[in-house]
Structure 1
Amino acid sequence: MTFRLPKPPSRAVSALRPPAFSGRLHDARTATAVGRWLAAAFGVCLVTGLVSHYLQHPPSWLADRLPTRPVWGYRLTQGLHVASGIAALVLLLVKLWAVYPRLFVWPPVRSVRHALERLSVAVLVATAVFEVVTGLLNIVEWYPWSFSFVPAHFAVAWAVTGSILLHVAIKAPEIRSHWSRRSKGTRALPAEADADRRSLLLAVGGAVGVVTLTTVGQSVTSLKAFDLLAPRHPDHGPQGLPVNRTAAAAGVSAEGLGRWRLEVVGPRPYTLSLDALRAMPPARARLPIACVEGWSVDADWGGVRVRDLVERAGGRPGRDALRVTSLEVGGAYRVMEMGAEYVDDPLTLLALTLNGQRLSLDHGFPARIIAPNRPGVLQTKWAHRLEVL
C-alpha cells in the first residue's frame, strides 16, 4: 500500500512567500538620496559628540590644553549635536521606510556574502536606532534603563560609525549607480518615479526643517519664539535661566549653608567666608551656560577670578590644575577638575551673582564655577572646596 502525504493548503504556501511591494519609492535611488542626508547628520553628530565627550572627560595629556576660546564654542558644538541628532531621527525613519521591503527578500540568505551583508545591516540599524532614541531620551532627562548613558552612548557611537563605513563599502557600486538622476542605475525608471521622489524629499526636508525650527530655539535664543517642542525654553527658570539639577535634587538646603566657608587648599591653604569673598576685587564676565541636553543661554556673571584664588593659595595659574568639590550629596559631577588653561583664564570665575543679582539656591548659591567654552555639567554649583593640583 502506498501512502501519499497530503498537499499543504494554498494559504500555507502563500504564507511562506514574501509580501509584494509595488510602491515606486522603495528603490535604491530613494534610499541613496535619503542616505546622503542621513550620513551628513550622523557625521555632524559624531564630530560634535566627540568634542562634548572629550571636554567632559579629557585624557590626561589633553586636560591642560583644552581651549577656552571661543567662549561660545561648546554652545555651538552641542547645539549642533542635539539638532543633528533630532534631524537624524526623522531621516532614519524615512530611510528605514524606503528600504524595509528588502527585509523580505526571498530566499532570506542567498550566499555567504549576502549573509554578511544582512548581518552588517542589522548591526547598523540596531546601533543607529539605539543612538538616536537614547540621545532623545537624554535630552528630556528620562533614563528607563540601568546602564550609564554617557559611556554607552560613546561606545555605540563608534559601532554606528564602523557600521556605516562597512555598509558604504559594501554598497559602493550601488550607491554610485544611483547617486544622481543621470546615473546609470536610474535610466530605466519611469518619469512618475522621479516626480514622486522629489515630492517625498521635499516633504522630508520640510519635516526636518520644522522639527529643527521648533527645537533649536533652546540654544539659538533669537529663535526662542519658535521653541515649541524642545524640553526647555531659554527664558524659563530661576533668574530667567533654565535649571537641570535643583538644590532639592542635589540635597542642598538654605538651612545647611548657615556656616558655609570656602576652603582653598594649596601650598598656602586658607578659608573665606561669603563676606570675605565679596570683599575681594570683583570680576565680571558675560558667558553662556551651555548644557549637554542642548540648551544654552548667555548671562552676566559676577564674582572672583579663580586664578586670583589659586594664586593666593600658592598655586601657579597657567601651570596648575584645580579640583572643585560641590556641597551636593551625590552625582557623577560632584567633584570636577579643570585644567591649567581654564584656571588661568581671566573669564573663569567663582561666581556670586547672576545678571546682577545674588545667585539663587538652584543656580548654586553661595558660589559656583563659570568658565568659557565649557559644558554646563562642569560649571559646578554649590562649590565649597578648591584644591590646587
Structure 2
Amino acid sequence: MKLRLPLRLPPPPFPAFSGRLHDARTATAVGRVLGAAVAVCFVTGLVSHVLQHPPAALADGLPSRPAWGYRLSQGLHVASGTAAVPLLLVKLWTVYPRLFARPLLRSVRHALERLSVAVLVASALFELFSGLFNTAQWYPWPFSFVPVHYAAGWLLAGSLLLHVAVKAPEIAAHWRRRSPGTLSLPAGDATDRRSLLLATGAAAGAVTLTTAGQSLTPLKGLDLLAPRHPDHGEEGLPVNRTAARAGVTAESVRDWKLYVGGPRPYEMTLDDLRAMPQTEVTLPIACVEGWSKAARWTGVRVRDLLDRAGAPEGALIRVTSLERHGAYRVMVMPHTYARDPLTLLALRLDGRELPPDHGYPARIIAPNRPGVLQTKWVSRMEAL
C-alpha cells in the first residue's frame, strides 16, 4: 500500500501571537536602545580584550592611567550586556511573526537577508547569555570562553551592521515618534506601545540596578541579583581563585624567596622586602567577570626592584606565580605598568599582612589592569 504525501506541508507548530505590537515601529523603538547597549558592550569588550590579551603591536605600549580605567570599562561592559538581555528578548518578541513568515524564501536576496538575520539572532543570544554565565563563573560548554566570546562579538557586530544597512529605509521611516507606518494603526496601539516600552525600560533598569553594585560600590546595597558582592570575601575583598584551588600551601611558601632577574639578578626573602622602603597606594581589583573594589595596598615599588637588578627602562617583565597550574600562572607586564610608581609588589592589604587567598607572601597590584593579571603568590620577576 502506497502512502501519498500531502502536496503542502502544514506550518510548524510555533506559538502564534495575536498582539498588535509586532510591527516595525515597536521593533525600531526597542532596537534603538538595544543597539546602543550592544555598541557600549562591544567597545568596552574590545578594551577588555586588548588589555587582557594585547596584540603584538600594543604589547609594550598599553596605558597604565587612569588607574580606574579598567574598572570603569569592564563595569560598563557587564552592565550594558546585562541590560541588553531583556531588551533583546522584547526585540525578538516584536519581530517573531516575521521570523517564520511564509514563504520562507522568496528570492536569492530574501534568502541572504534571512541568513543574515539568523546569524544576528544566534550570535546575539550566544554572546549575551554566555557573557551572563561568565559573570557567574559557570561554563557549561567544552570550549574556552575568552576566544570564542571574542570571535562571536565580531560576528555579532558585523551581522548587526549588515542588518542595519539592509533595513535602513524601514528604520528611517519609523525612527521618529510619529511615522507614516503608525498613522493607520488603531488609536489604542499608541498607549499599548508606550506601556510595552515602559515595561521594557523598567526591566532593563531593574536588572542593571540590582547587578551594577558589584562594580559601582555606591549601589552595593541594591546588589541583589549579581553573583558577587564587593564586600564579600576575606578582608572584605572578593577573590576568584583561592590558594587551595591554585595549589599554594603553607609548605610551598615556608622557604619562599623572590627571584628578580636582570643584568644583576638577585634573591630576596620576605624580611628583606619588608626592610625596603614601603609605598602605600589605593587601587581597585577589577575582575573580568564584572565585580571590582578598591583597597589599600602596601609594598615595594616594582620599578625599585627592577632598578636594583639593572633591568632596562623599556624591558617587558615576566612575572611567575607559585601556583601549579592555570592560564595566568605566568604574566608579562609592559614597561608602562612596571615603571608606574603605583605598581607594587604588595605585601599588605588594608594595613594587614596579605591573606593566603589574596596572594601571600607577595602579589602584583597595578593601575588599569584586569584582575587576572594582578598575579598572586609571586615567585619570580624577570626583565626580558
Question: Which TM bucket (shorter chain)?
Answer: over 0.9
- Structure-1 residue corresponding to 2:245: 249
Match of 1:312 in 2: 308
Pair 1:322 & 2:317 matched: yes
| Alignment pair present for 1:284 and 2:291 | no
For the residues of structure 2 that align with 1:19 and 1:262, how far apart are their CA atoms? 64
For 1:272 and 1:78, the matched residues in 2 are separated by: 35
* Counterpart position of 1:83: 79
CA contact (8 A) 1:215 1:230 kept: yes
Secondary structure at the counterpart of residue 57 of structure 2? coil
Q: Deviations over 1:14-57 (max 9, x none)?
A: 65798764311111111111111111011000100000000011
State the one-letter code of the partner of 1:385. R
Is the 1:265–1:387 Cα contact (8 Å) retained in structure 2?
yes
Q: 2:99 aligns with which of 88, 91, 103?
A: 103
Q: CA deviation at 1:198?
A: 0.5
Answering whether residue 374 of structure 2 is matched by residue 379 of structure 1, we say yes
Q: Aligned Cα RMSD in Å?
A: 1.8
Contact (CA 8 Å) 1:176, 1:183: kept in 2 or not? no
For 1:37 and 1:215, locate their aligned partners in 2 and report how far apart those are by CA, in whole Å: 19
Matched, 1:341 2:349: no
> Out of 347, 351, 356, which is 1:352 matched to?
347
Query: Helix, strand or coil: the match of 2:60?
Result: helix
Alignment match, 1:361: 356
TM-aligned CA deviation for residue 63 of structure 1: 1.9
Q: CA deviation at 1:8?
A: 6.8
Q: Deviations over 1:51-109 (max 9, x none)?
A: 00000111222122111111100000000000001011111111111111112211111
Normalising to structure 2: TM-score of the pair?
A: 0.96
1:263 and 2:259 correspond: yes
What's the TM-score once normalised by structure 1's chain length? 0.95
Structure 1 distance, partners of 2:380, 2:14, is: 66
Equivalent runs, 1:97-246 vs 2, <5 Å: 97-246=93-242
Structure 1 residue 190 displacement after superposition: 1.9
Determine what percentage of the aligned residue pairs are the same residue.
69
User: Which of 49, 56, 60 is the equivalent residue of 1:60?
Assistant: 56
Aligned partner of residue 382 in structure 2, secondary structure: strand
1:7 to 1:340, Cα distance in 2 relative to 1, 3 A: closer
CA distance in 1 between counterparts of 2:111 and 2:54 reads: 40
Partner-residue secondary structure (3-state), 1:200? helix
Amino acid of the residue matched to residue 153 of structure 1? H
Distance in 2 (CA, whole Å) between partners of 1:310 and 1:13 is: 74
* CA displacement, residues 204-247 of structure 1 (integer Å, 9 cap, x when unaligned): 11011110110000001111100011011000001110000001
> 2:56 aligns to what SS in structure 1?
coil
Task: Give the whole-Å Cα distance in 1 for the aligned partners of 2:59 and 2:12.
Answer: 59
Find the counterpart in structure 1 of residue 326 from structure 2: 331
Which residue of the partner structure matches residue 275 of structure 1? 271
Contact 1:18–1:105 (Cα < 8 Å) also in 2: no
> Shift of the alpha carbon at 1:184?
2.2
Compute the displacement of 1:144 (Å): 1.1
Tell me if 1:42 matches 2:71: no
Contact 1:17–1:106, Cα closer than 8 Å, also in 2: no
Q: Secondary structure at the match of 1:302?
A: strand
Matches of 1:14 and 1:376 in 2, distance apart? 55
Structure 2: how far apart are the matches of 1:157 and 1:205? Answer: 24
